[in-house]
Chain A
Amino acid sequence: MRVNGKPLLDVCNLGKRFQGQRKDGIRWVVEGMSFALYEGEFVTLIGPSGSGKSTLLNMIAQIDIPSKGEILFRGEVINDSSRSKPSPGCGGRIGYVMQDDNLLPWRTLRENVEYPLVVQGRLNSETRTRVDELIETVGLGGFEGYYPHQLSGGMRKRASIIRTLAYDPPVILMDEPFGALDAESRLHIQSDLVKLWQRGEKTILFVTHDINEAIALGDRTITLTKSPACVRGEHVIDIPRPRALDSIVTAPQFPDLFSRIRAQV
């Protein structure tokens, strides 16, 4: 674990409500949620489906405005209920890998990976080299000129991950990014992700509904309650790295962690 000092991202007493069908039917999707992410941490978040995980990430990524509470980045409030208009991505500081790869079908793989750099006006020889490296690292070399419809699901997913890594946001949110993949490519991408994470000082908040995945990837696992979502428990994953992702279940710490987390979701 690489926890040190002040939190990088602080979620304080966060709440989000939606207007229900009936006039008085206000429903809290997230309520009283508090947790912190420290620099360089890989935190996995696990909760029952429909427990407002995506809503939580949308608020952190500033796509949504909270109804209550606040979110701090390096001690500065970046989102709270007083905002009238969200500023998605928080000026390139918070990356967000969503469930779907969301590649632009009219751009080649390379142009897709470069997209955030282009719109941020940061595409130069240095960032191009970085894009080259990332493409090589995840084994997409040779496919730069392919359009998304010519790539497999796993390749598209890799491309969408390195698209976010390419512009180097300090925090990356991931919303069940590997849900739609088959077991084989999933394992492959998981180890790519850990490799990429260990290379750069990235802080990752990774939402999943798979306990094995939460344990295999995370330094810490946070469990959520069912609607309205708030933090139920926190578990330090004390399995030393590098971990063998394909045989994580054989780690001596695994059974205990699994049953503790299982009991909470």
Chain B
Amino acid sequence: MNRATFDRIAFGAMLLLVWQAASAWTGPESISSPLLVAQQLYRWSLNGVLGTNAGYTLLAAVLGFGIGGLPGLALPFVLRKRPFVTAVLDPFILIGYGLPKVAFIPLFIIWFGIGIWSKVALVASVSFFLVFFSTMEGVREVDPRLLRMAKVAGASEAQLLRTIVWPSALPFVFQAVQVTLPLSIGGAAIAELISSNRGLGYLVQFSAGNFEVTGALAAVTALALVVAVTNVGIDRLHDHLLAWKGSHSKGITSGRVS
């Protein structure tokens, strides 16, 4: 076990201790203890409540991320050679980015019902802008010297996109995925808080509504676990796709720890 892993475990244990202490101070009816939450999660995982609801939230997040993220990914490549269109669209995209998407939840419910599609719509509206801005930056940052080299070597416009622009932008695309996918899960859960009959957000809302603090905290913990597992998956993919970079930044640190 290396130093960072050891310290992470130690830090995690310390957080649990603080949580336990807080629980003992207030009593489990306002802050439930880690042990009670673990028991609740264990029960939910046995009776299928955890799997169903986590799966529902994750599905809404992934669908929304795909539906919003893919156009956000494609648009910068389309705009690359169209500075005029970019200039026209610019203020609209900035306003769209600035709008609080949560304010649209009631509208999304009117348009798409209280089922999964209103959650997907919220996640998509958040994902689009985040992926768009990050990818746009990547497309802008392409080294013009590499483009010139490739042109002289005989590359067509389509080949430039595929062999130069796309690989240059890939680290930025990845950054977008790193930021947006966890936010998508959170976004889906927020939409579920407002109106739903399934999902981890619904579990939080439902449990809290019944003053079941343990249940609400267990659902939040489950959300944290889903996000953590997603992050590990993204990291794996990152190492695989961007092996040429040698070293890279992970999570919120700028250098590689471990």
Contacts and interface: CB of A to CB of B under 8 A. Distances in A.
Interface of A: 61, 63, 88-89, 91-92, 94-96, 98, 100, 102, 104-107, 115-116, 118-120, 147, 149-150, 163, 167
A95 B154 CA distance: 10
B102 interface: no
B156 interface: yes
Report, nearest first, the 5 A-B pairs whose CB atoms are least far apart.
A116-B153, A88-B151, A89-B152, A102-B149, A119-B155
Interface string B113-153: 00000000000000000000000000000010110111111
A93 to B, nearest CB: 10
Given A116-B154, A119-B154, A120-B154, A104 B164 contact: yes
Given A105-B245, A147-B244, A147-B246, A95 B152 contact: yes
Contacts of B145: 98, 100, 102
B146 A149 contact: no
Nearest to B247: A149
A202 B237 CA distance: 45
Contact of B153 (A100, A107, A119): A119
B39 interface: no
Contacts of B244: 105-107, 147, 149
B45 interface: no
Contacts of B143: 102
Interface string B240-252: 0000111000000
B148 A88 contact: yes
Contacts of B150: 115, 119
Given A63-B148, A147-B246, 15 more contacts: A63-B152, A88-B151, A88-B152, A89-B154, A94-B152, A96-B152, A98-B148, A98-B149, A102-B146, A102-B149, A104-B163, A115-B150, A115-B163, A119-B150, A149-B246
Name B's interface SS.
Answer: helix
User: Which residue among B146, B149, B151, B246 has the maximum number of chain A CB atoms within 10 Å of its CB?
Assistant: B149
27 contacts: A63-B148, A88-B148, A88-B152, A89-B152, A89-B153, A91-B154, A92-B154, A95-B152, A96-B149, A96-B152, A98-B145, A102-B143, A102-B149, A104-B146, A106-B245, A107-B244, A115-B150, A118-B163, A119-B156, A119-B159, A120-B154, A147-B244, A147-B246, A149-B244, A149-B245, A163-B153, A167-B153
Contacts of A104: 146, 163-164, 167
Contacts of A92: 153-154
Nearest to A117: B153
A89 B244 CA distance: 28
A240 B197 CA distance: 89
User: Which residue among A89, A116, A119, A147 has the maximum number of chain B CB atoms within 10 Å of its CB?
Assistant: A119
A63 B151 CA distance: 9
Contacts of B149: 96, 98, 102
A95 B153 CA distance: 7
A168 to B, nearest CB: 12
Contacts of A150: 246
B32 to A, nearest CB: 49
A147 B244 CA distance: 6
